[in-house]
């Protein structure tokens, strides 16, 4: 349901906590997580590790911090990591790879987030010349934000992981929305994270928790991650208050993601026919709809929509991103489609 009369499609990060989350937060049993004895956060970490099929997990305040820690541990100073050219880590994380990990991000083009295997292979440097940064890791993003919520195929992930194994590379997943991918593919999330050594996913996006992400991986990696989290200022005290909402997020909010995907398709279908609008319906794979305005620049289009209480974000001069989430219902889809039609008329 829209909040205060606004149909807010800017991101799934705008979701407010559910009543069950709020109750769980108020009643959370807490300790001091820097001292390692907050029972609620310990429980969340155990549940998250189990759901992902990983040995251990760590609560981090944000997805950015989870990715940053992974880059610092898996790549290292003066070494290189292969990543896709539109990925979140490269563009939207304040140069974390360069500044915190001290590493070289080697960015490569892709087909909707999938970098061709041959291209990955050609960019793995180990012994060619000693002044070429040695490749230590590959990171992928699933679903892929700037490719409109694209889902990476399991057989592709398998091929990349075979290449990584052969070359002794760490595989990291920016899985901010990995449960959206699992739901779209109709597979257990373990089936698509098993190819990765480390995985970050967000509690605070479509799963609707107010704050937090999870970094998961092998026991020794997570032990090190805890120290890096502290160094980054991410060691929190009575953090079980946030963890309580996180538990509800992973246990109760995954299955409903399909509703978001259905509504995203509907918004795409209801707008694709409007004069001056282009939407590629087959690219609506999860909860994102990329709407191209052929006769109006995105900022003006969005300004006019905002006058009708419909909010979204521009991602380029002619494309706007609409994200469907828990706080968008059928009525919001109708409101948005109607508003878009009126604006384009």
Ligand X SMILES: Cc1ncc(COP(=O)(O)O)c(C=O)c1O
Binding site for ligand X (CB under 6 A): 62-64, 88, 141, 145, 174, 176, 202, 204, 213
SS3 339: helix
The least distance separating ligand X from the CB of residue 96, rounded to whole angstroms, comes to 10
Residue 201, strand partner residues: 214
Q: CB of 281: closest distance to ligand X in angstroms?
A: 22
Residue 133 Cβ vs ligand X, minimum distance, rounded to whole Å: 24
- Smallest separation, CB 1 to ligand X (Å): 23
Residues 267, 288: Cα–Cα separation, whole Å: 10
Cα–Cα distance, 288 to 303 (Å, whole number):
20
For ligand X, the closer CB: 38 or 174: 174
Q: State in angstroms the smallest separation of the CB of 73 from ligand X.
A: 17
Q: Which is nearer to ligand X, 198 or 204 (CB)?
A: 204
The minimum distance between CB 156 and ligand X, in angstroms, equals 17
Please, which residue, 88 or 343, has the CB nearer to ligand X? 88
Identify which of residues 171 and 277 has a Cβ nearer to ligand X in the complex: 171
Strands (E), 43-124: 56-60, 80-84, 104-108
Contact 305, 337 (CB under 8 A): no
Q: In terms of Cα–Cα distance, which of 122, 151, 126 is closest to 136? A: 126
Residue nearest to ligand X (CB): 63
For 40-191, strand residue ranges (E) read 56-60, 80-84, 104-108, 135-141, 170-174
Helix 330-344 and helix 257-272: axis angle, to 10°?
20
Nearest residue (CB) to ligand X, 67 versus 270: 67
Residue closer to ligand X (CB basis): 124 or 182: 182
> Taking the CB of residue 330, how many other CB atoms lie within 10 A of it?
12
């Amino acid at each position: 349901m829209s909040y205060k009369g606004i149909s807010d499609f800017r991101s799934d990060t705008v979701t407010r906590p559910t009543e069950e989350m709020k109750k769980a937060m108020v009643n959370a049993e807490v300790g001091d997580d820097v001292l390692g004895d907050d029972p609620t956060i310990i429980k969340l970490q155990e549940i998250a590790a189990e759901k992902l099929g990983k040995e251990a997990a760590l609560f981090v305040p944000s997805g950015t911090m989870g990715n940053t820690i992974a880059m610092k541990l898996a790549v290292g100073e003066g070494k290189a990591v292969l990543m896709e050219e539109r990925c979140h880590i490269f563009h939207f994380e304040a140069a974390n790879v360069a500044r915190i990990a001290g590493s070289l991000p080697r960015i490569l083009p892709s087909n909707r987030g999938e970098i061709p295997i041959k291209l990955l292979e050609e960019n793995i440097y180990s012994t060619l010349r000693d002044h070429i940064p040695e490749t230590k890791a590959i990171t992928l993003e699933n679903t892929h934000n700037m490719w409109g919520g694209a889902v990476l195929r399991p057989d592709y992930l398998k091929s990349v992981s075979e290449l990584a194994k052969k070359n002794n590379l760490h595989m990291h997943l920016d899985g901010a929305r990995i449960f959206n991918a699992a739901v779209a593919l109709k597979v257990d999330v373990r089936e698509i994270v098993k190819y990765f050594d480390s995985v970050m996913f967000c509690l605070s996006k479509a799963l609707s928790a107010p704050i937090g992400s999870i970094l998961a991986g092998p026991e020794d990696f997570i032990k090190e991650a805890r120290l890096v989290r502290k160094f980054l200022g991410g060691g929190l005290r009575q953090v079980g208050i946030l963890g309580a909402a996180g538990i509800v997020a992973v246990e109760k909010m995954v299955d409903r993601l399909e509703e978001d995907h259905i509504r995203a398709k509907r918004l795409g279908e209801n707008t694709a026919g409007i004069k001056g609008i282009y939407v590629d319906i087959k690219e609506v794979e999860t909860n994102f709809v990329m709407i191209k305005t052929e006769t109006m620049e995105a900022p003006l289009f969005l300004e006019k929509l905002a006058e009708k209480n419909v909010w979204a974000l521009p991602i380029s001069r002619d494309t706007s991103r609409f994200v469907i989430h828990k706080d968008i219902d059928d009525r919001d889809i109708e409101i948005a489609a109607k508003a878009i039609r009126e604006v384009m008329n």
